[in-house]
Amino acid sequence: MKILLLDKNHPLITEQLLAKNFVLEEDFTSSYDEVCRKIEHYDGIIIRSRIPLDKNFLEKGKNLKFIARVGAGMENIDIPVAGKLGIQLINSPEGNRDSVAEHVVGMLLILMNRLFIASQEVKNGIWKREENRGDELLGKTVGLIGYGNMGKATAKRFSGFGCKVIFHDILPGLSDEYASQVSVEELKQSADILSLHIPLTSETHYIIDEKFISEMKKDFYFVNTARGKNIETKYLVEALKSGKVKGACLDVLEYEKASFENLEHENEDLQYLLESEKTIVTPHIAGWTHQSKEKLAQVIVDKIIERFAG
């Protein structure tokens, strides 16, 4: 099988697939149109997010048998068209679930205990104790939206902090030793912390909007390591200003490019998020540890070899 690699990834992908007699070609720079012109010559693609694999692209890939995305989200791929064309879709959420879960907890600890603010103050000769009192995770109810790989790994971490963890998911029967499945209504009634662990689809686009925020019974902390467009940012900013949202930890932003490599545009809402003491903002790196880079690649390789080797 001939595979086109469209993004740089861990070298183990190349090493292990070559050892299994796959034919590999790397192309990390060609434009969408340039790749479209040659895609018919390949049996498979390995990609992160560099270019969109839309209907036009997939129909030109007449010999494509699979697309492997090194990561979790598949919104950059026209999934229905791929299904109609018989193209198998492979992703690797198992590879970065632990790094995402640790990032969620890490951001909350920094925010709730004012660690970054207090550290910067001391480094600038300011010694404030009363003003920097923290807020404990112990005893908080954490509400997760989505209970796949990321949600489960996150629930496991929170359970170790003495939190009650509840979640809502479109699939039934997912409760386990770390978290209990509840309705959206019950989650809104109980959660002190709301954390998103869902893909970006037509159903989850702006799932957190003005109405959702207003229906949360408690003032709450908000965490998003999923996708920026899962929440309508202007209403998050309004809620931060009013105090309904006590603080926000954002690893993803509504204003990111589809490739996640930078921001598409800036506005007043973004500026508020970047300047507020109520927010922690990171550049889409929750799943981006040294360990996850290797694990993501290994999961992809294992799945390709299992399905297509020999």
Listing DSSP states for 180-237 in one string gives: EE--HHHHHHH-SEEEE-----TTTTT-B-HHHHHH-SS-EEEEE-S-GGGB-HHHHH
User: Is there a catalytic annotation at residue 284?
Assistant: yes
| Catalytic-labelled residue, pool 284, 290, 306, 307 | 284
| Catalytic-labelled residue, pool 10, 157, 197, 227 | 227
Written as six digits, the tokens of 274 are 């970047």
CB 235 within 8 A of CB 210: yes
User: Is there a catalytic annotation at residue 238?
Assistant: no
- How far, in whole angstroms, is CA 36 from its chain's centroid? 27
- How far, in whole angstroms, is CA 49 from its chain's centroid? 13
- How far, in whole angstroms, is CA 14 from its chain's centroid? 25
| Catalytic-labelled residue, pool 102, 210, 256, 294 | 256
Measure the CA–CA gap between 174 and 146, rounded to whole angstroms.
10
User: Is there a catalytic annotation at residue 41?
Assistant: no
CB 42 within 8 A of CB 64: yes
Which DSSP state fits 165?
Answer: E
Question: What residues act catalytically?
Answer: 227, 256, 284
